[in-house]
Structure 1
């Protein structure tokens, strides 16, 4: 998949996954990679920025498999932002699909 496509939608994907349940970084990377091939190194800077922008909150929890883990949780601001991005995505996707349909059926 085109790297620019992934870069543009990665933020939305993170918000949607964290809304489903709080996740730690590696878990989130795995869940993203199940759907979209991403470099793990591109995720952590995004998580830091989204935390700084207050779309995500973090907390630390004990792990039975090693040191404590930093979990990411969707904030109220993050939920509102996610809803805006979903709306924008739906409009964008519909427009692109219409262009494709017109080009391939014409």
Structure 2
């Protein structure tokens, strides 16, 4: 597995929660939104995360009619999901600043 894949694996859940916090969305559409943000993930890796987030009650999935084709499961954030997203943002900001600072110095202290 590449370094990029390993790094993404650690932050993908927070990214998914962030997208869902902005709008009710179905799995394929979520994948396309992430791709538009240059976060390259396969649809196959998104669905297990969505299932886990549902089991953890961070999101809720609801089947709705699709304007074209079969029904789709649309996901929305729960109050617990919003709290988890805020926690992720706090941890991300605490990590991002020091890493950016280190990298801007070329790894030299």
TM score, norm. by length of structure 1:
0.93
Root mean square deviation of aligned Cα: 1.5
Structure 1 segments of 4+ aligned residues over 2 angstroms from their partners: 101-106
2:30 to 14, 28, 31: 28
Query: How many residues of Structure 1 are paired with residues of Structure 2 in the alignment?
Result: 106
Match of 1:91 in 2: 94
Q: Distance in 2 between matches of 1:105 and 1:49?
A: 39
**Secondary structure at 2:57 match in 1:** coil
Match of 1:13 in 2: 15
Deviation at 1:101, TM superposition (A): 2.6
Match of 2:76 in 1: 73
Mind listing any 5+ residue stretches in structure 2 that lack a counterpart?
none
1:41 correspondence with 2:38: no
1:100 correspondence with 2:79: no
Mind listing any 5+ residue stretches in structure 1 that lack a counterpart?
none
Deviations 1:72-99 (A, max 9, x none): 1000000000000001000100110121
Q: Distance in 2 between matches of 1:65 and 1:8?
A: 34
**Secondary structure at 1:54 match in 2:** coil
TM score, norm. by length of structure 2:
0.90
